[in-house]
Amino acid sequence: MKKKPSTEAAYALAREAYAEHGVDAEAAQARLDEIPISMNCWQGDDVKGFENPLAPLTGGCQTTGNYPGRARTADELRADAEVAMAQIPGPKRFNLHASYLESERSVPRNEIRPEHFQRWVDWAKARRLGLDFNPTFFSHPLSEQATLSHPDPAIRKFWIEHCQASRAVSAHFGRSLKTPSVMDIWIPDGSKDQPFDRLGPRRRLIEALDEILSRPFPREFHVDAVEGKLFGIGAESYTVGSNDFYLAYAASRKVWLCIDTGHYHPTELVSDKLSAVSPFLEGILVHVSRGVRWDSDHVVLLDDETQAIASELVRGRLLGKVAFAIDFFDASINRIAAWVVGMRNVRRALLRALLEPGSRLAEAESRFDTTARLALFEENKSLPWGSVWDHYCESRGVPTGPNWLEAVRSYEREVQSKRA
């Protein structure tokens, strides 16, 4: 049986193959090292949080499955995240929801303060991680009908104050960790059936958002983003904060737009939207998810659309105005493995995009040589990017291939299986 070449031998051959196509594999990996991906806390505990873990999950969110080993405390969640991060190459951040605060007493959401998240800051600082943040507009008695678009001024005021407090927490993250925290505003407001008044709630949402954003924070500490959606459970016919609404709001208010890959119609190509909207926006937060027929938040695959998104951002030289975060929650499989699979796939897609022979493709296109362009696209698909990926993983101290799975299984046997 022919011996399989070592990772380094295979990489040497791959590097030569890419060099023949005008691509520097070392430079691609160095660029990849500059792109952090934010890991979502809510994958580890099924979006329960620590405010009231027994509260039902509402707001159109749904976690399916009951795989054993869910994190029950913040310490367990941090430990689980560390196991996952050890299997994922490249720089990482951690993305928190407001409901993941730590306090010995019950804290109303409009009274959250930086001190309620200080243990998260200390943990992130010790591990050289950035933190991102999200106000939590779901799973709360005052979110059952609406939040920032609610017709009752008192309820609307509560959620405005929650978002204002969240921005202060986010700025504290950025100030403490010396890297800006991206805070994403998403609300579940909408209607299951046809509403009479579509404009009124949107006017109230504009007024609420303007009030929230009225206090400036330095961009080196805090970045605001707004996230739209096509529809959700309980909002099948009307979503107040639709994708169109937030695109217009982000462009006019000079805040970032969050594009969640699961928040569009299944036939829409998110990859095509990036170049269409980027010239009008301050920045884009890309929430990488996978919807199956609806916003079902499946684990990210290395599928055509994930690859197309990465390629579009590299080709358009948009990486400098984009932040990446994963956004899925699957309780039907080992939750740590879900993190690892999803984040490794996003980074794989970025590496493949950075290894594309862009200069040759651009030159062929500039001559309207569509024959050469098509040929180069197709030949690029069979270049040995997998050997570059293995080298990247090995040289960054994480397992290659499926070898990471044994570390996750071992942790499952020794730690997760003992949780009630």
- Catalytic residue positions, numbered: 186, 227, 229, 260, 263, 287, 295, 297, 327
Letter for the amino acid at 149? Answer: S
DSSP 263: S
Residue 53: partners with Cβ closer than 8 Å, 6 or more residues away? 45, 72
Strand partners, 325: 38, 287
Is-contact 331 67, C-beta < 8 A? yes
Q: H/E element holding 181?
A: strand 181-185
Residue found by looking up tokens 């993190």 in the block: 339
Cα separation, 322 vs 89, whole angstroms: 19
Within 41-119, strands assigned E span 92-97
Q: How far is CA 287 from the centre of its chain?
A: 4
Give phi and psi for 96, each to the nearest 5. Answer: -110, 145
Q: What's the one-letter identity of residue 402? A: P
Alpha-carbon distances, residue 168 vs 174, 222, 312 (angstroms): 10, 9, 34
> How far apart are alpha carbons 290 and 306 in whole angstroms?
9
φ, ψ for residue 145, nearest 5 deg = -100, -45
